[in-house]
Amino acid sequence: MGVVMMCRQPDRDVPGIVCGYPLPCPWHTVILHADKEPPTMEVPLTVAPDVPKAKTLKRLKDIGRIIAEMNDDL
């Protein structure tokens, strides 16, 4: 089994923690197609049709912020 590399950029919702998404991360990766003429850039889609409700996302962000604050206090 190969090694899975994880994104080490700050999380997009809670910058106090690491993103941790397997690479290529859809939030922190831009793909450059230098072999095309002219060269093109591709940004992966980061929103799926079945996204959780806004209220659920807000709660998850709040939990992430609390965890980040707890880590800062340690």
- The predicted-structure confidence for 8-19, as pLDDT tens digits, reads as follows 888 888 888 898
Total Cβ atoms within 10 A of residue 14: 19
Q: What are phi and psi of 52, to 5 degrees?
A: -65, 160
CB 48 within 8 A of CB 58: no
Q: Where are the domains of the chain?
A: 1-74
- What mean pLDDT is reported for the chain? 78
For residue 70 the two structure tokens come to: 């707890």
Token pair 């197609």: residue: 33
As a whole number of angstroms, the distance between CA 52 and CA 49 comes to: 9
In this predicted model, what pLDDT tens digit does every residue of 23-33 receive, in sequence order? 888 788 877 78
Residue 5 structure tokens: 């590399």
